[in-house]
Structure 1
Amino acid sequence: MMNKRQTLTLVQLCGILLLCDVQCKPTRRLTGQKLQPFLARACNRVSLGVYEEVATNNNNVVFSPISICTLLAVCVRGASDKTLVELRKSLFLELVDKREMSSVYGAVYRSFVQDPSVNISTTNIMIVNQNFQLVDRTVQDYQQTFNGTLLEFDPEMKSEVSTSINNMLSFATGGMVKGKLSADDITSDQALYLFNTLYMSARWRDQFFTMETRQQKFYLDGNTHIMVPTMHKRGNYRWNKNTKLGFDMLELPYEGNRFATYIILPREKDGLARLEKVLTPERTLRLEKAITNMKKAAKTEVRLCYVILTNDLNTRALKAMGVEHGFTNTAEFPSLFTDTLPITVSNVIHKTCIEVNEEGTEAAAATGMIMMLFCMPHSIYNFVADHPFLYFIAHNKKSILFLGTFCTEA
């Protein structure tokens, strides 16, 4: 049986997908405002690509791609040659000027953190070893484009540094993400840490009533089920029945109507694997059209289980995006430091947590990267989410903050 505070396994990525009607591969370089819709489609492809790599049978998944993409965009500004080509390709932004790319990512964040009806915040922090000197222009770009904070650390004060970073991540994510750095993780050859965090707390436009929550069946496959706390409510919601692709979609808006959770429920209780084959990076338009083609709000009875998930994601997912050269001793980051140093990405850590209950949703994600000297390797419509489903939280029906699946209990 699953209680409200039970932690479930999940694979995560941090970020935001922007859903727009544009082509994925431009025929010429894009700049300025024309870049924003193209960036949206690129983020979509990143999200579905990573999901395709990390999702396995009967695993809960949740991730926020914009956090990872933002961190990579920061790296793009300091990269060159093969490393730069690889980063651009992993972000599906091969023909985008790296200065434009960073500025647009900054604009993306500013567009959704200003919503007064939802508590949402993001932080970008660069912590540099005091024995390394960053290029002044790199510092200026980071602070202006991403509103980034620059700090220094003394590698000799290992315990203080690890504690400070752990506290910073916890504070920036409302206590949902707990940093796990220990004093032994801090070494003198680490040049800098890069962090991006995303925190969101939102109340449903129409809340579920606690008294209506009761234990009901959740089908793990076509036959096996468990009993889980299931929320109930009736209201007017937008929906989409896609018989061709075999799923139903429901929009559950938050206060202010700019953010919403979308649940994509396979029509068959064991249909999640087939749904995953449909929503591939090459078919991002299918996800976008599913939102665009949603019907007008109709009376709907909703049954939805609690979703309480948390997990870590490591370097493997990033390499699945095609980012490999940056982890080698030949990585090129010449614009980061004043001295020519053999800098490489040694590790990427990502963590996402999400809780969905009667009041609304609280979600947080943190992505961290360590760079170091290379020295080691119309009637009532029933929507009953009683079997594995895919879900995402979106802004303005276009920007997905978190994407995942709910499959099994831990």
Structure 2
Amino acid sequence: MFDFNLQFARGGANVTVELFELLTAGGVKQNIVFSPFSIQTCAALAFAGASGETADQIAEGLKFASNFHPEVAETFQHVFEKYKDSELLKIANKVYVQEGQQFKPDYEVALKESYNAEAENLNFAESESAAAAINSWVEDKTAGQIKDLVSASAINELTRLVLLNALHFKGSWAHKFDEEQTAEDDFWVSEEESIKLPYMNQKAKFGYGFFEELNCQALEMPYNNSDLSMLVLLPNEREGLKSLAEKLKSVNLVDLAGNLDYSEDVVVQFPKFKVEFEVELTETLKKLGISKIFSEEAEFNNMLQSPEGLQVSNVFHKAVIEVNEEGTEAAAATAMIMMTRCMLMPLQFTADRPFFYAIWNKRNILFAGAFVNAPTA
């Protein structure tokens, strides 16, 4: 039997790499964090009311497991159900609709039953109060981590719908770092330039891999009482992140999970950091082949009972991540590779140069990003 959930996970891994490449066009010059799953989920709320080429572009561009609405809904529902009682991960969806507008019955059912999405009327003509209501919901669902996602200027009397996804993750490490062991050391922002950063230090059994074809080491640090973990891909060279991003297009991150070894202690030196990132995704989505949603030809005729046409005006995405000795807090509101081992010394993983990271369950990637420099905030 075809495994749509695995197909969706592999698609999510591919879209993570594609989004990473697009969001770091011109080189990875700034810290970045984003949630591919949040972006996919928000788009799925639109997909549920789309038809024709519009629906096909969303499904293909964001690597859904299918372009058949029930199958797509089932793959998202699988993830929602998996974490519905999780203390670490909270997922929330909401659709605000202009006062006086009515959903088509099938779309209303899909929102509620397939995407666990609340619906609420709002008067978008009162843009200040509408934006305040939207931002308040996002802030509440992300435990205060994501503020001011949308501006009043993005909303007006022509606005009919605002589709929202919010993710909040807060997990403690299965192997916590001792704060007394945290110490400053060099972080190499380029081949010859370094800055001082606080590093967490410990020795414990972590998932470890050395991927020759990617020219990087991999470390997986699990979170307590969960199937979620942080995967870190560390280039072997100080300026190797751009090359790693290119090489990642030739593999699927899901396949890396089976090539990590958990049997040996690893000496880990990992920086403490907090990163915030925001982006308007219209041009990014167009580069993924999702263009029709932004045009007057957009086919969103399955959403509202009103005969007026709908199109997307903006897609905002904002994410934040903080990593410390206790664990990680993150929020957002949008080929076989063999392992080689040739070390007799204790395995060392020193993240003293720009690296790629993801928070995942070895399938679905909830957050991804790169740490390349000291945060300016």
How far is the alpha carbon of 1:37 from its aligned partner? Answer: 1.3
One-letter amino acid of the structure 1 residue matched with residue 73 of structure 2 = S
- Residue aligning to 1:332: 299
**Contact 1:36–1:104, Cα closer than 8 Å, also in 2:** yes
Counterpart of 1:87 in structure 2 is: 58
Match of 2:338 in 1: none
Quote the residue 1:102 is aligned against: 73
Q: How does 1:85-234 map to 2 (within 5 A)?
A: 85-93=56-64, 95-115=66-86, 118-234=87-203
Cα displacement (A) at 1:157? 3.5
Partner of 2:324: 357
Deviations along 1:113-152, one digit per CA (max 9) or x if unpaired, are 434xx42101100000013221122111100111110000
Following TM superposition, by how much is the alpha carbon of 1:297 offset from its aligned partner in structure 2, in angstroms?
A: 2.7
Question: Is the Cα contact below 8 Å between 2:6 and 2:363 reproduced in 1?
Answer: no
Alignment check: 8 A CA contact 2:319 2:333 kept:
yes
Contact 1:265–1:390 (CA<8 Å) still a contact in 2?
yes
Shift of 1:180: 4.6
> 2:46 maps to what in 1?
75
User: Cα offset for 1:182?
Assistant: 4.4
- In structure 2, list runs of 5 or more residues that go unmatched: 335-343
User: Does residue 316 of structure 1 match 2:253?
Assistant: no
Instruction: Give the partner amino acid of 1:339.
Output: S
Structure 1 counterpart SS, 2:15: helix
Distance 2:198 2:19 in 1: 30
- State the one-letter code of the partner of 2:320: C
1:377-388 alignment, distance < 5 Å: 379-388=345-354
User: Which secondary structure state, in structure 1, belongs to the residue aligned with residue 251 of structure 2?
Assistant: helix
The answer as to whether partners of 1:74 and 1:102 remain within 8 angstroms in 2 is: no
Distance (whole Å) between structure 1 residues aligned to residue 345 and residue 363 of structure 2 = 28
CA RMSD of aligned residues (A): 1.8
1:393 aligns with 2:341: no
Match for 1:326: what amino acid? I
**365 and 94 in structure 1: CA distance in 2 versus 1, 3 angstrom threshold:** closer
Q: Is the 8 A contact 1:196 1:366 kept in 2?
A: yes
1:406 aligns with 2:361: no
Query: What's the TM-score once normalised by structure 2's chain length?
Result: 0.91
**Aligned ranges 1:237-252 → 2 under 5 Å:** 237-252=206-221
- Map Cα deviations across residues 280-333 of structure 1 (whole Å, 9 max, x no partner): 1xx233x33322111133111111111211011112222222111110111111
Unpaired stretches in structure 1, ≥5 consecutive residues: 1-29, 368-377
Task: Measure, in 2, the Cα distance between the counterparts of 1:58 and 1:181.
Answer: 25
CA distance in 1, matches of 2:211, 2:149: 43
What amino acid does structure 1 have at the position aligned with 2:260?
A: M
What TM-score, normalized to structure 1? 0.84
Distance 1:394 1:85 in 2: 27
Question: Identical aligned pairs, as a percentage?
Answer: 27
Aligned residues of 1:248 and 1:264 also touching (Cα < 8 A): yes
Alpha-carbon distance in structure 1 between the residues aligned to 2:185 and 2:273: 14
| Local SS of the residue matching 2:48 | helix
State the alpha-carbon separation in 1 of the partners of residues 159 and 257 from structure 2: 44
Displacement, 1:94?
7.9
| 2-structure distance, mates of 1:93, 1:168 | 27
Distance, in Å, in 2 between the alignment partners of 1:88 and 1:399 is: 17
| Secondary structure in 1 matching 2:110 | helix
Question: 1: CA distance between counterparts of 2:44 and 2:135?
Answer: 23
The answer for the alignment partner of 2:204 in structure 1 is: 235
